[in-house]
Structure 1
Amino acid sequence: LACIIASRSDIDDVIPLLTAYQIEWKKLHRLLQRLPDSISLPDAAGDPAVRAALAAALRMSAGDMDRLYTIWGADFVPNLERIAAASHRFRVRLLSGSFSEYHRATHAWWAHIVQACPDLLERPIYFISGNTHSLVNLLSGFALQHRDKLVRFLEGSDDKDLLQEWADIHTQMVPSSQENFFYYVLKKYLQTPQGYSFRQVRREHEVDCGVLRIDSKHFFDVDVQVIDLAKLRPEWIDPRLYEGRANFLSHSDALILNIDYPLGLAAYNILSKISEHAGKILGVYIMGKAAALNGVIGDVLIPNVVHDEHSRNTVIFPNAIAAADVAPHLIYGTVLDNQKAVTVRGTFLQNTEYMDVFYREGYTDIEMEAGPYLSAVYEMFRPKRYPEDEIVNLYGLPFDLGIAHYASDTPLGKGKNLGASTLSYFGMDPTYATTIAILRRILHLERQRVSKG
């Protein structure tokens, strides 16, 4: 097994995972050595009763055993035999992980981006850390222009749930967003053989409206999109983004730099590099997944306090995104503002006891990027490196700052899992509501900036 490490955060994730994997392997190995003669491993593949007995012998729940059986499939018995045959002792070797190597990798990533879009060095920028689908879908209008084609694809598919949802939307039987629905269907269509060639059509459409995709070919698995606001076609963009005329965009010289959110400390490295070399930063906006300790899956969390486990700083900041910005576009969830977030080193070690401490201290939003991003933001307007183990006040920033998270997990309770509902596309609801809020904020600021000349 070989891993490309983007920052120390990757090591904080990989080592606990490997440690747990080795512990579980050794436990199963010892228990398999004492397996009763009445339980035959080859029979476990085809006999649920034998699997249930095997689960009891291995001190597992029947549900966990069935999950292993589903995941391993035809390898179920061979894998168990392999575990029974020998114990394992993993060794980890770090080939290159110095501080300078991380900076070198970040520099190479940025050089590749600038080579594809030199304008980033001179023109003002709105920076967004999010995903590579919602922003472009909203600004390009590609899916909405091809509704008929997507409906025909849907009618020819065998997805009964999706067909029923479209019928309910069409007859206004459900409150689901028609735009979000087509964004989801476009994604499904592009994944099919007949939709593969349609990707080139989409690429040409995006170029026509100022969207440049830059794939990350080396170093970081962080793709980039650059949107030239002056080239956007106001008549194409999602109608939820702007009321009235958006002709002011043609007079804008600003770019949106959107990246597929990195994990952990890679966020600090990337934003630091961008702020060092890019043109004037007009805004920094961060959106991504988080674990919610006081909400349900599909809620949106808006923090104004972040405790960073990397720097041990507690950061207070003015969040440009408010509940009123998100709520009108969120259909199936709730917006929770004035939250306290904690940026953890890794997700694997966040057990119930650990998270209960956070909850009793008032922290309800657990994620991995906000702290490193805020350390970079500190260095963007202060003449020194970010401090450690301090209360940091970011009020008075010379640029806009917005952070919003959508709940993808509720570790302290069962919550309500939108993914377990009829359609998985309901999970797009908080993503698009958050993206719309950020883009509306950018368009509002840009209109003010353009009007001032």
Structure 2
Amino acid sequence: MPYKRKQDDQHNDGSYPSKHISRDDTFVGSQMDDEMLSEQNQHATTLAPSLEHGERYHAAGKRDVELYIRTYNTLLRSSGEINLKALIQAHYNIDSSLHPDARKPYPDMSAFIYSVLRLPDAISQCELVLLGQSEEVFLQQGFHVNKWQAVTASARRRKWFYNGKRTLAVYVASVSDTDDIVPVLVAFQIEWNKMYYLLNEDPTTMQLLETEVDPGSPVFSEISKVLRQRLHIAVDDWQRLQVIWGEHLWEKLHDIGMQKKNFNLRMLGGSHVGYVKATRKWWAPVRNLLDTLGLPDRPVYFVSSNTHSMINLLSGFSLRNEKALIDFARSGADPYLAEECRKIQEGTVPGNWQNFLYFATREWINTAAGQEAARTRAQEAQDRGIWHVGARHGLEIDAQVFELSKLIPADIDPRSRMSGLDILKKSDAVILNIDYPLGMAAYRMMREIMENLSQICGIYVLGKAATLNGSIGDVMISNVIMDEHSQNTYWFDNMFRANEVQHI
């Protein structure tokens, strides 16, 4: 094994027994200074694993990651449920940059919050997670997910269903979804169980969580401080939890303290054929729309991006409602919008006015006036040759079709206008935009599109990506791609250049 580990030093579920967690008695009285707590946590974080658990230093490499992936894929291919405990050691061994303190006895709040945002709220009540490629796969195994409650995660577009009885079901579009879901679940369980032990180390901690106190009272603030310190959570991480869980923070912590997590996982189907069938079901309504509009043999420009990006640039909806958006922003209903509007108009910040309008539109359409305008939005878009196809079958990927000949040049974002736009009226081409898929799902969808459309004039891929260096707001323009699945490297001439995006 890559790690030599004392068997009595760690529970099999990735948690640590209370004998490993030393805490000064002043914790009970909430007297520990926050700076001391911060220094203690920082010290615990920076200690090498060898100092904490008697392990030899092990720099994780590619083989560890491949072993982790093979381990859970092999287990999931079995016909029954697998227990997440079986993956804890392999998870440790990869030394994930998103879970650097997995082995530490105190919570890695960045990893926990990352997981919380990518899992439905109902995960705290669940013991079993089912993965399947389509509704039919679930029904064949006796799981009527079409009758379950649809639930969502804040930071992932994925179809989840909750049966109200400790079981969650999720659609997986490719092996990349599995590669995303499994490590998140493992990290969630590890960090949950760390907090479980901390919450139960002192019996008064759970009693504090059961206290009914006015959230606005000084007593509430003091109890919160005690809870935070006993959990070894830094102030900024505690504030992030408060934003995520709001008034349910104590309730959520109480749930954690009541029971350890011990997830079971089961894959239904998971075959190559199943993924192909799921992709074809996704494509069917898009193909039907193209047939209905008489567009299947037209030249196609394929785009993978957000579903709000191109419609913002080409529909003119926000530009036509600019006055209403300005009035809404200045009304102060949203203090941030009011301040941002003022700064942009005064030129005190480098923000772009059109981008601000698009951002404000998201808030405005939730108001009475905005909802009235939104009711005609779809028809206005269709009048301009813009059609939307919502996700229906497993794959949570919406699609849009733009008929170039029906676009109105005056509606186009000023930054995208150029001379000769009137020639678009003579074009027979269409743009097919899909809500960017994840990993291997992108390959399967691209393949399905290429097999069904005869004239692909261009392929444009836009989206978020992680970089090893850079700053927020930077744009990455790549000319080489390494495919981890096939180990192939692809070099290509990117049509975009840095000078074309520097002033956007």
TM-score of the superposition, structure 1-length normalised?
Answer: 0.67
Aligned equivalent of 1:321, options 478, 483, 496: 496
Look up the match of 1:84: 257
Aligned equivalent of 1:263, options 438, 460, 463: 438
Whichever residue aligns with residue 208 of structure 2, its letter is S
Identity of aligned residues (%): 40
CA distance in 2, matches of 1:21, 1:153: 40
Look up the match of 2:209: 41
Quote how far apart the aligned CAs of 1:142 are.
2.1
Report whether the alignment pairs 1:21 with 2:188.
Answer: yes
Closer/same/farther in 2, CA of residues 55 and 167 from structure 1, 3 Å limit: closer
CA distance in 2, matches of 1:16, 1:114: 35
Whichever residue aligns with residue 231 of structure 1, its letter is K
CA contact (8 A) 2:298 2:429 kept: yes
CA distance in 1, matches of 2:319, 2:229: 53
Aligned equivalent of 1:208, options 380, 383, 406: 383
What do the CA deviations read for 1:204-250 (whole angstroms, capped 9, x no partner)? 22112111111112221111111111111123222222322312111
Look up the match of 2:52: none
Aligned equivalent of 1:287, options 462, 474, 477: 462
Q: 1:120-135 counterparts in 2 under 5 A?
A: 120-135=295-310
Quote how far apart the aligned CAs of 1:174 are.
4.2
Closer/same/farther in 2, CA of residues 64 and 327 from structure 1, 3 Å limit: closer
Q: For structure 2, list consecutive stretches of 5 or more residues without a partner in the other structure.
A: 1-167, 214-218
Whichever residue aligns with residue 249 of structure 2, its letter is F
Aligned equivalent of 2:268, options 81, 95, 98: 95
CA distance in 2, matches of 1:63, 1:174: 26
Quote how far apart the aligned CAs of 1:127 are.
0.3
CA contact (8 A) 2:209 2:251 kept: no
How many residue pairs are counted as aligned between the two chains?
A: 329
Whichever residue aligns with residue 188 of structure 1, its letter is E
Report whether the alignment pairs 1:59 with 2:235.
Answer: no
Q: For structure 1, list consecutive stretches of 5 or more residues without a partner in the other structure.
A: 330-453
Look up the match of 2:103: none
Report whether the alignment pairs 1:218 with 2:393.
Answer: yes
Which structure is richer in relative contact order (CA contacts within 8 A, separation 6 or more)? 1
CA distance in 2, matches of 1:44, 1:60: 22
Look up the match of 1:248: 423
Aligned equivalent of 1:112, options 263, 285, 299: 285
Aligned equivalent of 1:30, options 170, 192, 197: 197
CA distance in 1, matches of 2:228, 2:331: 43
Larger radius of gyration: 2
Look up the match of 1:5: 172
Q: 1:162-173 counterparts in 2 under 5 A?
A: 162-173=337-348
Closer/same/farther in 2, CA of residues 123 and 25 from structure 1, 3 Å limit: same
CA contact (8 A) 2:436 2:463 kept: yes
Report whether the alignment pairs 1:148 with 2:323.
Answer: yes
Q: Secondary structure at the match of 2:261?
A: coil
Q: 1:296-307 counterparts in 2 under 5 A?
A: 296-307=471-482
CA contact (8 A) 1:137 1:183 kept: yes
What do the CA deviations read for 1:301-353 (whole angstroms, capped 9, x no partner)? 11111222222222211101111221232xxxxxxxxxxxxxxxxxxxxxxxx
CA distance in 2, matches of 1:204, 1:56: 55
CA distance in 2, matches of 1:192, 1:84: 40
Closer/same/farther in 2, CA of residues 144 and 70 from structure 1, 3 Å limit: closer
Q: Secondary structure at the match of 1:293?
A: coil
Whichever residue aligns with residue 84 of structure 1, its letter is G
Whichever residue aligns with residue 58 of structure 1, its letter is L
Aligned CA-pair RMSD: 2.3
